[in-house]
Amino acid sequence: MSPTADTDALAQAAAGVDALHTTPRLLALVNETRTHALGPGEVGLAVRNDTSGVLWCLLAGDPSTHTDLDALARAFVWPSYARARAPEAHLAQGDAFADAIHRHAAGGVIVLLSPIEGASACAKAVDLMLDTRSRRPLGASVAPRHIGRVLRDFEDAVARGDATAAHDLLDEAWSTGRLSVVNRSFLQTRELAAQRAWQEVLDHALTHRLSDLDLPRSVEHDLVKAIYWGVLRDALDRGDVASALGAFRDRVQPALGDIFRDHRFVPSAEGRKAWMVRWAAVGGVWPSAVRDEVIAAAATEEERAELNALATHAQFSDSTSEAFARALLSAHEDAAAFALAQAGSDLPLGDRAGVLVQAAVRLDDPARLADAAQAVEAAGGPTEVAAPAALAERIANYPRPAVPVDSWATWLNAIYEDPEWRNAIQVADDQGEAWTESLAHDQDSLVEEAAIVEALAGENALRMVLPRLVRAVIPTGPQRLETLRSRGRILQGLAYAISEDPASGLADLDALADILAALLETGLAPDEFSLMCDQIETVWRRAGGAPRLARWIVDVLSVLTDYPCPSTSRRAALIGALLAPLLTDAGRSKPLIPREAWLEIDDLLEGNELKDLVPESIRQRTERVDDDIRTEFAHLANRNVLIHTLVPAVAERAAAYLKTLVPSARVITDESHVGSTQLREHARNADYIVIASRASKHAATEFIREEASSPISWPSGKGWSSIVDALRSNPSLA
């Protein structure tokens, strides 16, 4: 049957349903459904009168959307307003209406039957259901996901400094109904930290009394960093340690002092300095072991010297007496007590084990609990431990990893030896950031771990950490290219593991894009490139290929066009596969993908054989600027806009585009690595500020935040279209 016949069949059926014409939104959806096949994440509607009522057919663009619609229909429509019916009972093959529906709904159809007298009420219920779905975060409405996967993607967005994605993923997590108010408050702390809004982090901690709660390690570290940037940094930069100590005593210790609970595995120089200041400011005597653990974690010799200098302002003791350890436990300095007992080889084994057991239980740290279990065994069993018998017996049976774990490499070995190790994910959550920081300064090739990664593909523990493991493996620093070449094997193993994950998300796509860029930079053979393309296509299809991921498409196209590819034909095939779901969206009356995204895609494909992958109809459509588009940016008229990114061409293209829409806007671009008098003036005078967090330096970002008097927006992608989108209407994150 021709598309015209399908359109006529659906139109004729809808014309006889009076209730449809009282709900304009449903009528518009029916008309839109008639004109094009649905893409992933899209919903359609077809209606007709039936012998026993009105038939409401909800069409899904893909299976995950069908699942989502089924859950929503149960909640909003039936059984109160309609009955769910088997599609085959009402949509018989050969019927023009039924055949048109099956051709339009790749993901299936949900059929509801309402009585004639209840048709208007059913129409209102369906309208409310679809309106609610449209208001949900796109990630939640396209494919309902397990809360653990949403949180994994959230943590990846925070680690990348992608504040916009973090905000959307937090909304998605909250919409699942599986997130407690307390945990939401923790995630809001992480979101603010992704924006590097340190004063807001501290205000949030005070408002929600976070110091009274058991904090996840990542949240504790965000708060410690916020204290450094918001309270201590200025004085320490001046070399005025006395003022820093005074500021800590006056502004931190009274209300936020209890945030400092665990000094071990602090994954940043700012956090380590804050801990040294804390020990000096609080006063008293501290075990030398805590100082040594923090200094040992220093990333550079320069930082080590700074920490040693700060340590001279605190009082440390080499004593490892039981009395000292018990005093620390009584003061709830559990991490310090554990460090003392672990270093205290002179302590009687029973006393040492007793301190380790009590401190580890309070800290709820799997690594320390495993060490305490070993100490109980060394002491001769629970009866020999100077701790409550029930507690000692419980810790004696605590599960330990198959091998000692102190890095990503040993963690991988541990889950390879024991895939059932129940604390694997928590250990990675607690220590992973510190391992990543350490690996950034290491030139280890990790060749032996590549085979382990491939063998563990599909194991839940590995799947939950894959994105952060990719970030850890891709090196930084002066020896980056040499180290990158040596790590090609493990990067290929990680790409394989990601492609084998049946529940891929945005974090997996970002990780694959990073792997692709790294491998193309070092050189890929044609067959290796083809395999990488296959893996990207697999994950892209699994993620739904939704229009909401257009910014990721732009980022991948930048990689594919910036680096030489060993096979131009395979590159073209990959780009075609990635663009296909977006072409469906372009045919909508109101596309989800903004005009500037298509313009940037066209820019990237300009000048080679790839340009033909964008149909001429789309190119002509995006060349037109209608009043609706100008209205979306009208608030920029006669305003100052500051765009900060380290990629000048991206900023200049965004500025040029904005000037075509709003000629009176004054757009300033900046690519500074650090603050300056000129940047201070720009930040203070700007009405709108955009910081491309994925292409900026923390020093300049911090400087702009301190000097800005206007909202800051954070683009989710690396391209110029993401910068423009961040300025559309009202900035989403201010």
Last residue of one domain, picked from the residues 608, 623, 638? 623
Q: How far apart are CA 59 and CA 46, in angstroms?
A: 8
The residue whose two tokens read 């809808």 is 14
Task: List CB contacts of 164: < 8 A, sequence separation 6 or more.
Answer: 713, 714, 715, 716, 726, 732, 733
Query: Does residue 700 form part of some domain?
Result: yes
Task: List CB contacts of 685: < 8 A, sequence separation 6 or more.
Answer: 640
The number of C-alpha atoms within 13 Å of 514 and in the hemisphere containing its C-beta is 25
Q: Are 113 and 53 in contact (CB under 8 A)?
A: yes
Give the tens place of pLDDT for each residue, 220-241: 999 999 999 999 999 999 999 9
The residue whose two tokens read 């431990």 is 385
* Mean pLDDT (whole number) for 720-732: 78
Say if residue 480 is in the same domain as residue 577.
yes
Helices (H), ranges, 91-209:
96-104, 119-135, 138-142, 147-160, 163-175, 181-194, 198-207
Say if residue 558 is in the same domain as residue 684.
no
Say if residue 445 is in the same domain as residue 532.
yes
Query: Does residue 513 form part of some domain?
Result: yes
The DSSP 8-state label assigned to residue 658 in this structure reads: H
Give the tens place of pLDDT for each residue, 240-290: 999 999 999 999 999 999 999 999 989 999 999 999 999 999 999 999 999
Query: Does residue 603 form part of some domain?
Result: yes
Last residue of one domain, picked from the residues 597, 623, 649? 623
Measured over all CA atoms, what is the biggest interatomic distance in the chain, rounded to whole angstroms?
A: 90
Residue 405 banded pLDDT, cuts 50, 70, 90? very high
Helix axes 181-194, 163-175, angle to 10 degrees: 170
Helix (H, G, I), strand (E, B) or coil at 244: helix
Quick one: what percent of the chain has pLDDT higher than 70? 95
Say if residue 640 is in the same domain as residue 527.
no
Angle at CA of residue 305, ends 303 and 306, nearest 5°: 65
Can you spell out the DSSP letters for 249-297? IIIIHHHHGGG----TT--SHHHHHHHHHHHHHH-SEEEHHHHHHHHHT
In this structure, what are the phi and psi dihedrals at residue 669, rounded to the nearest 5 degrees? Answer: -110, 145
Peptide bond connecting 663 to the previous residue in cis, omega within 30 degrees of 0: no
Say if residue 588 is in the same domain as residue 701.
no
Q: Which two tokens stand for residue 661?
A: 């829409």
Give the tens place of pLDDT for each residue, 85-113: 888 888 888 888 898 888 888 888 999 99
Q: How far apart are CA 375 and CA 369, in angstroms?
A: 10
The CATH number for 713's domain is: 3.40.50.2300
Is the per-residue pLDDT at 680 higher than 50? yes
Give the tens place of pLDDT for each residue, 415-466: 999 988 989 999 999 999 999 988 887 888 888 899 999 999 888 899 999 9
Helix (H, G, I), strand (E, B) or coil at 423: coil
Say if residue 26 is in the same domain as residue 87.
yes
Q: Are 144 and 67 in contact (CB under 8 A)?
A: yes
Can you spell out the DSSP letters for 351-369? HHHHHHHHHHHHHT-HHHH
Q: How far apart are CA 345 and CA 348, in angstroms?
A: 8
Give the tens place of pLDDT for each residue, 515-536: 999 999 999 999 999 999 999 9
Query: Does residue 24 form part of some domain?
Result: yes
Query: Does residue 63 form part of some domain?
Result: yes
H/E run at residue 378: helix 366-379
CA distances from 56 to 77, 122, 528 (A): 11, 9, 49
Is the per-residue pLDDT at 662 higher than 60? yes
Give the tens place of pLDDT for each residue, 134-163: 766 544 444 456 788 889 999 999 988 888
Q: How far apart are CA 246 and CA 292, in angstroms?
A: 24
* pLDDT score for 614: 78
Helix axes 408-417, 424-440, angle to 10 degrees: 150
Say if residue 89 is in the same domain as residue 105.
yes
- If you average pLDDT over every residue of the chain, what do you get? 88
* pLDDT score for 533: 95
Q: How far apart are CA 734 and CA 732, in angstroms?
A: 6
H/E run at residue 629: helix 627-632
* pLDDT score for 132: 76
Say if residue 634 is in the same domain as residue 617.
no
Query: Does residue 65 form part of some domain?
Result: yes
Give the tens place of pLDDT for each residue, 338-380: 999 999 777 899 999 999 999 999 999 999 999 999 999 999 9
Say if residue 613 is in the same domain as residue 482.
yes
Is the per-residue pLDDT at 732 higher than 50? no
Say if residue 609 is in the same domain as residue 646.
no
Q: How far apart are CA 34 and CA 46, in angstroms?
A: 8
Query: Do the strands 688-691 and 712-713 form a parallel or antiparallel pair, or are they unpaired?
Result: parallel
Residue 9 banded pLDDT, cuts 50, 70, 90? confident
Last residue of one domain, picked from the residues 100, 135, 170? 135
Q: How far apart are CA 219 and CA 224, in angstroms?
A: 9
Q: How far apart are CA 587 and CA 34, in angstroms?
A: 12
The number of C-alpha atoms within 13 Å of 567 and in the hemisphere containing its C-beta is 17
Give the tens place of pLDDT for each residue, 22-61: 888 898 898 888 877 787 778 999 999 888 889 999 998 8
* Mean pLDDT (whole number) for 2-31: 84
Query: Does residue 383 form part of some domain?
Result: no
Q: Report the Cα–Cα distance between both ends of the chain, in Å, rounded.
A: 52
- Structural domain range at position 669: 627-726
Say if residue 601 is in the same domain as residue 706.
no
Residue 409's closest CA among 355, 352, 448?
448
* pLDDT score for 230: 94
The residue whose two tokens read 């928590």 is 426
From 128-132, 356-360, 684-688, the region with the lowest mean pLDDT: 128-132
Say if residue 616 is in the same domain as residue 704.
no
Query: Does residue 363 form part of some domain?
Result: no
Q: How far apart are CA 465 and CA 249, in angstroms?
A: 38
Residue 695 banded pLDDT, cuts 50, 70, 90? low
* pLDDT score for 730: 47
Q: Are 505 and 151 in contact (CB under 8 A)?
A: no
* pLDDT score for 238: 94
* pLDDT score for 546: 66
How many structural domains are present in the chain?
3
